[in-house]
Amino acid sequence: ATPTALMVGTGRAAQLGILIKGPEVLESTRRVDTVLLDKTGTVTTGVMTVLDVVPVAGQDVGEVLGLAGTVEAGSEHPIGRAVAEAAGRRGDLPAVDGFAATGGLGVQGVVGNRAVAVGRPSWLRDEWSVALPESLQVAAAAAGDAGRTAVAVAWDGEVRGLVVVGDEVKASSAEAVRQLVALGLQPMLLTGDGTGAAHSVARQVGIPEDAVIAEVLPQDKVAVVRRLQEQGRVVAMVGDGVNDAAALAQADLGLAMGTGTDVAIEASDLTLVRGDLRVAVDAIRLSRRTLAVIK
Ligand code: ADP
Ligand code: MG
């Protein structure tokens, strides 16, 4: 490809709201056949709110939300921020000792004389040996079916309730998936969230069930990209989070949401300034056109 033609492509990209690291990026874009989409913050808005609090029998809603939000006040995760904000609206939050966050799983801390853990139900089961009672299993499954995420709240050796959080699928996401398929590309959904929520979001945007990879820990997202590459695929990955950065760097083409974290943007080849997934399709189309002109 001649430098001049690539520079023209880069200029057009800027008009479309795409920032490109270097003109050579357009070359790898052309061969992409698989597009991995992060769920939260990429396909969905990533702006989480608390939608429901489900205590176990005999437990108080305010206490479950209050203790969960108190521990989550130290979290930078969108789920943590939503829970802390909802709890904070009901009153001042007490201090936390020994706060710790475990990426992609949950948080813990001591409030007064209570050791509290908030996170993925399977993490509480495996790491803290506390299981969801049946009533909460039903509620958690229902939340997942609705595309929402249920996090479990436990203290003193027992699960005390669920906090259900969720965000919205972006209005442009289904159209973007349709356009990817029309270009002959295979869209896939990659998320650390539960299988239920992942399948619900996939259904809403038209990604087939067998193209959903859920409950992937932050450090394992990069392995998913590598595995697909070993199968001979040329992989584009679109993401926004700190937990997407390694996968974005490993992908043949990394695309960051401009609305996302700096780490994701730095790891990527392209940045979609407005965080609109349709612009990812524009980027792929543009590179094909630019290179077709040159040939
Ligand atoms: P995603 O890939 O959707 O960005 P993450 O890897 O960040 O998801 O998180 C995966 C899961 O880990 C969440 O769905 C949630 O169950 C759990 N989790 C992570 N951080 C927290 C937190 N601060 N509070 C509660 N749960 C958390
Ligand atoms: Mg994300």
Q: Where in the chain is the domain with CATH 3.40.50.1000?
A: 3-45+169-294
Per mean pLDDT, which range of 15-19, 87-91, 243-247 is the poorest? 15-19
Can you say how many angstroms the Cα of residue 262 is from the centroid of all Cα atoms in its chain? 15
Mean pLDDT within 199-221: 96
- Residue 153: pLDDT band by 50, 70, 90 thresholds? very high
Nearest CA to ligand 1 atom 9: 104
* Catalytic status, residue 38: yes
Which atom of ligand 1 lies at the shortest distance from residue 221's CA?
2
For CA atoms 282, 78, 226, 1, the dihedral sign is positive
Q: Per-residue pLDDT tens for 109-138? A: 999 999 999 999 999 999 999 999 999 999
Instruction: Please give the average per-residue pLDDT across 138-165, as a whole number.
Output: 96
Q: Annotate 33-58 with DSSP letters as a single string.
A: -EEEEEIIIIIB----EEEEEEEPTT
Is there a contact between 196 and 144 (Cβ–Cβ < 8 Å)?
yes
57 pLDDT more than 80: yes
For ligand 1, atom 20, the nearest C-alpha belongs to: 106
- Confidence category of residue 8, pLDDT binned at 50, 70, 90: low
Q: Which of 23-27, 139-143, 197-201 has the lowest mean pLDDT?
A: 23-27
Q: What is the pLDDT of residue 167?
A: 96
The first and second tokens of residue 4, run together, are: 């001049």
Q: Which of 38, 167, 252, 269 is catalytic?
A: 38
Q: Is it the case that residue 294 has pLDDT exceeding 60?
A: no
pLDDT at 290 exceeding the cut of 80: no
Mean pLDDT of 1-15: 67
Span(s) in the chain for CATH 3.40.1110.10: 49-166
Examine the pLDDT at 291 and tell me if it is beyond 90: no
* Rounded distance from Cα 84 to ligand 1 centre (Å): 14
Q: Closest ligand to 42 CA?
A: 2
Superfamily of domain 49-166: Calcium-transporting ATPase, cytoplasmic domain N (3.40.1110.10)
DSSP, residue by residue, 45-94: ----EEEEEEEPTT--HHHHHHHHHHHHTT--SHHHHHHHHHHHTTS---
Architecture field, domain 3-45+169-294: 3-Layer(aba) Sandwich (3.40)
Alpha-carbon distances of 160 from 42, 121, 157, rounded to whole Å: 32, 12, 9
Tell me the whole-structure pTM to 2 decimals.
Answer: 0.90
Higher pLDDT, 123 or 19: 123
| Banded model confidence at residue 295, pLDDT cuts 50, 70, 90 | very low
Q: Is the ipTM of this complex over 0.85?
A: yes
Mean pLDDT, the chain, integer = 92
Name every protein residue with a CB atom under 6 angstroms from any ligand 1 atom. Answer: 39-40, 72, 75, 77, 79-80, 101, 104-107, 118-120, 149, 151, 191-193, 218, 241, 243
In the chain, % of residues over pLDDT 90: 82
Instruction: Ligand 1 pocket test: pick from 47, 72, 151, 191 the residue with the most ligand atoms within 8 Å of its Cβ.
Output: 151
